[in-house]
Structure 1
Amino acid sequence: MSARSVLADQQTSEAGRPFLWAAGLSLFVALAVVVLVVRDGPTRVEPARPVEALRASPAQAAAALSSFVAAVEARDGEALVDLAPPASTEVQDQLSGVAANAASLDLRDVTARYVDQAGTVADDGSWAGVVEMTWRFDGFDPAPAQADVIVRFAPDGDGLAIAGFGAPESSEGRVPLWLRGELAVARSDDYLVLVDGDHQEADDVASRVRRGIPVVTKVLPDWSGPVVVEVPGSASDLDETLGVPSGTYAGIAAVTAGVGTDSGPDAPVHVFVNPEVTDGLRRAGAQVVMSHELVHIATDAARKPVEPWLLEGFADYVALRDTRLPDRVTLGRAIEAARREGVPKALPSAADFDTQGPDLQARYEEAWLACRIIAERLGERVLLDLYDEVAGGAMLEDVLPRLGMPTAVLTRAWRSRLSLTS
Structure 2
Amino acid sequence: MNLHLNFSSTNKKSSLNITGSKSETNRLLLLQALFPELKLENISISDDSVVMQKSISRSQKVVDIHHAGTAMRFLTAYFAIKENSDVVLTGSSRMKQRPIKFLVDALQQLGAEINYVENENYPPIRIKGKKLTKNKVTLKANVSSQYISALLLIAPKLENGLELVLEGEITSIPYIRMTLALLNEIGIETSFENNIIKVNSKLKTQNPEVKIESDWSSASYYYSIVALSQIGTQIILSNFKKNSFQGDSILVEIYKSFGVETTFVENQIILEKKEYKCSSVKLNLIESPDIAQTIAVTCFGLGVGCRLEGLHTLKIKETDRLEALKKELSKLGAMVFTTDSILQIAPSTRIKENISIKTYQDHRMAMAFAPLALRTNLIIEDSEVVSKSYPTFWDDLKQIGFEIEEIN
Pick the TM interval, shorter chain: under 0.3
Q: Larger Rg: 1 or 2?
A: 1
Q: Choose between structure 1 and 2: higher helix proportion.
A: 1
Q: Which has the higher contact order (CA 8 A, sep 6+)?
A: 2
Q: Which TM-score applies when normalising by structure 1?
A: 0.25
Higher strand content, 1 or 2: 2
